[in-house]
Amino acid sequence: MLVVDDQASVVELLRLLLEQDDRFGLVWSAHDAEPAILGATERQPDVVVLDASLGEDDGLALIPDLRRAAPGVAVVVFSSAPYADRHSARLAGADAFVEKGTDLDLVLDTIAEARRIVDLTLVEAWS
């Protein structure tokens, strides 16, 4: 898993939650676009949790690059940016959207569901 957010406190919270949940494995992090692409290329995560606003970088615009770097990755936008919502995340190519401030159990369930759907799609593509 790769968590991409420019707020260190968000990254650490998600890392702790994801690593304590049996549905997820190791969690890496990046704070902006370049390390996110490098991390996705090197580590091939199955899920990227991405903030729509990464300081000077547009997280939504990063989605196609993440998909090229890690084909088959599930992308979950986790953001409170005023321009980010379920519709804009889907248009950008994300698999799911969760607003920051949402109940943490729902955040984890959404990430797990996005991963499951992408896994099923890959299985069907190879069948």
Q: CA 22 → CA 19, 56, 66, 109, distances in Å?
A: 7, 34, 25, 12
Phi-psi category of 12—alpha, beta or left, where left has phi over 0 and alpha has psi -120 to 50?
Answer: alpha
Query: Model confidence over 2-49: pLDDT tens digits?
Result: 999 999 999 999 999 999 999 998 899 999 999 999 999 999 999 999
The arithmetic mean of pLDDT across residues 83-94, rounded, is 91
Q: Write a three-state SS string for 49-95.
A: EECCEECCEEHHHHHHHHHHHCCCCEEEEEECCCCCCHHHHHHHCCC
User: The whole model's pTM is what?
Assistant: 0.90
Residue whose C-alpha is closest to residue 52's, from 80, 75, 72: 80
Binned at pLDDT 50, 70 and 90, residue 127 comes out as very low
Q: Which residue has the higher pLDDT, 26 or 61?
A: 61
Torsion sign (Cα): 69, 2, 112, 97 = negative
If 0-12 CB within 10 Å is exposed, 13-18 middle and 19+ buried, where does residue 7 land? middle
Q: Residue 123: its pLDDT value, please?
A: 45
CA 117 remoteness from chain centre: 14
